[in-house]
A and B are shown apart, each in its own frame.
Chain A
Amino acid sequence: MSKDNAVTVKNVFKNYGETEALRDMSLDFPRGELTSLLGPSGCGKTTLLKIIAGLLPATSGEVIVNGQIVKEPGPDRAFVFQDFALLPWASVIRNVAFGLELRGVAKSERESIAAKYIGDVGLKGFENSFPHELSGGMRQRVGLARALSVDAQVLLMDEPFSAVDEQTRRKFQEDLLNLVKNENKTFIFVTHSIEEAVYVSDQIALLLPRPSRVSEIIRPTSFKNKDVDSIRRDSEYLDIVDRIWKSLRTYVE
C-alpha cells in the first residue's frame, strides 16, 4: 500500500461473547477524503468506528492511524456523536472547548479557539446558550465545533445527522462537502442513508451483516467536482444509489 492512508484497518475481529460482530475486516481510509461506512443495521459499522476511535478494543487485528497502532483514544482522532453528547449543564462555549479543557489547554486560549469554531459552524451569538435552548440541528453543530476545535486529523462521525430533521440534514450534507474540501482532514462517516453516503463520500465502503464484512468499495468519480446543487441529478449518482440498494435490499427485513 504505497498510497497515503490516514487510517488502516487490518484483519479486525470483534466478538461479543458468542456473537461475532466483525469478522476479518480490512479497510483503508485515504488521507484527506471522506469514507462512508454504509450498511443495514447490525452490520457492525458503529462497532468498527468505535474500534477506530479506541473506545472499544478489537478482539484481534489492528487499526493503524498515521502509522501508530490504536490502543486507546488519542488526540489524532475526534468523535462526533449521533445523540450529540453535549454536557447539558454547560454553555455552548464550554461544550465546544471541552475537548481542549480535557487536554489541559488554558481557559482563555481554549475559549478563543472555541469561539472561532462556533463562528465557523454558524452559531455566533449562541456562545452562552445552553444545549436545551437549541434545536437538534444546532446541537449537532456544537458537537461538530467541539470535534473541529481539537484539530484532530481524523474525524469520526457516527450517524451525525440521523437525529436532525430532513431540511437541516441537507444543509449539513452541503456544509460537510465544503468541510472536506477545505479542512484537509480525513473523515470516517457512518450512515444508514444510501443517498447521504453517495452524496458526501469520496469512497463508500458497503458493509453487509452476518457475518459482517466489506462487500464492496465504491468510488464515485464524475460528480465530485460539481457544485452541490447538481450532484443529485447526476447520472452516476443515481446509478450508484440504485446499485447499492440492489445489494442491500435482501438484508432489509
Chain B
Amino acid sequence: MKLFGYRLPAMSSLILWGLLWEIFGRLEVTYFIPSLSAIFDTFLEIAPTKVFIKAVSETGYAFLAGTFYAVVIGVPTGILMGKNRIIDELLLPWVNMFLSAPLTALVPVLMVLFGFGMKSIIIITTLFAIWIIILNTRAGVMQINRSLVDMAKSFGAKPMDAFFKIYFWAALPEILGGVRIGFIRAVKGVIIGQLLISIVGFGALFELYSSNFLMKHFWAIIIVLFAMAFTLSEILAYFERKVAYYASKRG
C-alpha cells in the first residue's frame, strides 16, 4: 500500500493498532486492558522463567505431535478419498460432520478414553487440524488433470509411483493450503486441550494468570500465542506461493 507517495512496509497496519492499544492502555480506562508496553515488559520478565519455558515446551510438543499426526494421516486419507469413489462415499459424511462439529464437546469422551494426560491433548489437537487437511487434499486430487493419470499409467506406473509421483505433487498447492488452515485450527485445539483436559502448558498459565487477575501476564501469553500462530501461517503461506505457479496452469 502507498500513503502520500511512500511505500508502506507489509503489516504496517499492526503498528497503528499497536499505537491505539498503547494510548488506550495508558488512559487506564479499564484494569483489564493494560498498555502494550507494560505487557511487553512483563513478557521480558516472565520469558526466562522456568514456568514459562516449561509451558512453551509442553505446548510446542503437543502442537507438533498433534499436527504431525494430522498431516501424516490426513494427507494420505485425502488422496485416497480423491482417487477412490468407494472410500470417498464411506468417509466424506464423517469428515464433513467433524469439520463443522463443536469438537470441544468431545473432550469429556476423549478424557474417558485416553486419560487426562498429554495423549488426550495431542488427540484433540489432531482432531482440530485433520479434517480441513483431508478435505483440501481431496479437492486437490479431484481436480487433477486426467491425462496426467493416464500418462503415468501408459508408462507403466505402479500404484505407489502414481501416489507419490503424481497425486501428491499434483495436489500439493491444495495440500499446503489445507495444512496452513489446519495448523491455525490446531493452535485452538492445543489450548482448548490444555484448558479442559489437564492444566499444563499455556493452558496452565492462562488459568493461573486469569484467576489471579494478572492481566499483563495474561495478555503477554496471548500475544506470544498469536505471534506464534501468525508466524507459522506465514511460513506455510510462503511455501504455498512457491508452488502456486502450477496451481493456476496445470497441464
Contact = CB atoms under 8 A, between A and B. Distances in A.
Contacts of A103: 155-156
B154 A78 contact: yes
Interface stretch (A5-13, A84-92, A210-218): A84-92
Given A53-B154, A79-B154, A89 B147 contact: no
A89 B176 CA distance: 15
Contacts of A126: none
Interface stretch (B13-21, B214-222, B242-250): B242-250
B24 interface: no
Interface string A87-118: 11100000000110111000000000000000
Given A87-B169, A102-B161, A78 B155 contact: yes
Given A102-B161, A132-B249, A87 B153 contact: no
Interface residues of B, number: 23
A32 to B, nearest CB: 22
A82 interface: yes
Nearest to A101: B165
Contacts of A99: 155
Contacts of A81: 147, 150-151
**By DSSP majority rule, is chain B's interface helix, strand, loop, or mixed?**
helix
B251 interface: yes
A158 to B, nearest CB: 9
A83 B155 CA distance: 16
Interface of A: 50, 53-55, 73-75, 77-79, 81-89, 98-99, 101-103, 132, 150
26 contacts: A55-B154, A73-B153, A73-B155, A73-B156, A75-B156, A78-B155, A79-B150, A81-B150, A81-B151, A82-B147, A83-B145, A85-B148, A85-B150, A86-B251, A87-B148, A88-B246, A88-B249, A88-B251, A89-B243, A98-B155, A101-B165, A102-B152, A102-B156, A103-B156, A132-B245, A132-B246
